[in-house]
Amino acid sequence: MKLDIIKNQWLDIVFEGRNKIYGAYELRKSNGKTTVKALIIGSIIFSFAVAAPLIASFLPDSGEEEVDNNVKIATVKLPPKKEEVKPNQPPPPPPPPKVDQVKFTKPVVAKAEEVTEDPPKIEELKDKKVGAETIKGDPDAVLTVDEPVGTGTAAVVEEDNQVYNTAGIEVKPDFPGGIEKFYKFVGNNYKTPEEEGLKGKVYVTFVVEKDGSLTDIKVLRDIGYGTGAEAIRVLKKCPKWTPGEQNGKKVRVLYSLPITIQSAE
């Protein structure tokens, strides 16, 4: 009897007492199935490779379609678009009445016998138009006045209400007598809360209007005890400033003010 160790019946004898979990045992055990699968897949791939030219001959050839490039393009002239008549439109104004018109003859230096037409006199030009020929007007015509050209509404100049920053303004707003006078005004009118050890800064902003008044007063930060409300009270009774200017015009300007608070100990 011929010994064939490839057959599965000999595997258990060969691997008796050995580690069968090892890969060699599993590979030899499944060697037959693997060989059959490989043979079938190889046969299918080989068959497709051989039959590829035959399959390609049955596919339609897109390159055989001929494109007709000799198509003539005809220019079609569309009729002009009719203007839509808007409803409720007023009728056109009547033509102006005819006014007496006197032909103006340009003066030319010539001999007396060559003059064929005398120029008009001053009396004839009074209350009459001057034109290329003499035309008799209609004295019974209705006097009409031409309407002014345009929509009849005056141009509206928009007022500049933008709030500018002091950093980019041409002429900054100023307190009467200078900014030091303003600081002195605030210091003299500000009532510090009677709180021992109170210390810090109150930051406020306000807008100097075109007339110099202060509006839109806001407290950005305070230290409590009514310090922010007191700053608003003082600024509301502040005299008017000299407003800021931009491009030669008075404008609104945003101003910021820090107020240092330090109560007496």
What are the distances in angstroms from CA 135 to CA 90, 101, 120?
31, 5, 13
List, in order, residues 6 or more apart from 225 with CB less than 8 Å away. 193, 195, 198
Residue 59: per-residue pLDDT? 77
Residue 151: per-residue pLDDT? 53
Q: Is 185 helix (H, G, I), strand (E, B) or coil?
A: helix
The secondary element (H helix, E strand) that includes residue 203 is strand 199-208
Instruction: Classify domain 163-262 by CATH number.
Output: 3.30.1150
Residue 37: per-residue pLDDT? 87
Residue 101: per-residue pLDDT? 67
Residues of the chain short of pLDDT 50, as ranges, are: 1
- What are the residue ranges spanned by the domains of the chain? 8-46, 163-262
- pTM score, whole prediction: 0.41
Rounded to whole angstroms, the Cα distance separating 253 from 96 reads: 56
Residue 199: per-residue pLDDT? 87
> Which string of b and e fits 128-141 if b means at least 16 CB within 10 Å?
beeeeeeeeeeeee
